[in-house]
Amino acid sequence: MKKNRLSVIDYIKDAFLNERKKDVQSKFLLAPYHEGNHWVLIVLDLVLGLAYVFDSATPPPPGTQKLEGFNCIQMAYRIYWTNLENDKRKIKSQKLRFIQMKCAQQVDAVDSGYYVMKYMHDVVTVYNEYKDNLSEGYVQREMPYSDEELEETREQWAKYFKDNYLMDAGE
């Protein structure tokens, strides 16, 4: 990311601006973020100017520096905000407010990707119609996911990938 910082900011800004152009806007934009062999999910609410951070390793693993990604998202949001017409600005701040969510915490150093996939699934299936601040409605938990919950996430992902991206062996 450090080498292509401007490209990353431009890509995120375009995603924000394209969301604004849609007839029906999504409540949340999901931004899985990987740095230092660790995955984090950032759920963006462009209307309220909030960024919910789902991190399965709090505090972050040693050597992980998430500030670079957060800074890119913040810069892209400022550009997005300045491109809004005055009547569409529901908030007055050009800065996203980052909220650390209390979420399931991993017990090992390798499952962060599956945790992010589980967080994404929960946000999309349970909270996609939520109109208020997600941190007030999200059922918070710090207990790790069980092996069964992680296996279900792996199976859902594998089925989705197989059904949508792998050719049928019979074709």
Report if residue 170 sits inside a domain. Answer: no
Range of the domain at 15: 5-145
If one counts the domains in the chain, the total is: 1
Assign residue 14 the CATH number of its domain.
3.40.395.10
50 in any annotated domain: yes
Residue 56 lies in a domain: yes
Quickly state the pLDDT bin for 66 (edges 50, 70, 90).
low
Backbone angles phi, psi at 53, to 5 degrees: -105, 120
In a domain, 166, yes or no: no
Give residue-wise pLDDT tens across range 97-126.
999 899 999 998 889 999 999 999 988 887
The upper half-sphere exposure of residue 18, i.e. CA atoms within 13 Å in the direction of its Cβ, equals: 7
Q: Can you list the positions of beta strands (E) in 35-119?
A: 39-45, 50-54, 97-100
Inside any domain, residue 102: yes
Q: Residue 126: what pLDDT?
A: 79
168 belongs to a structural domain: no
pTM, entire model: 0.82
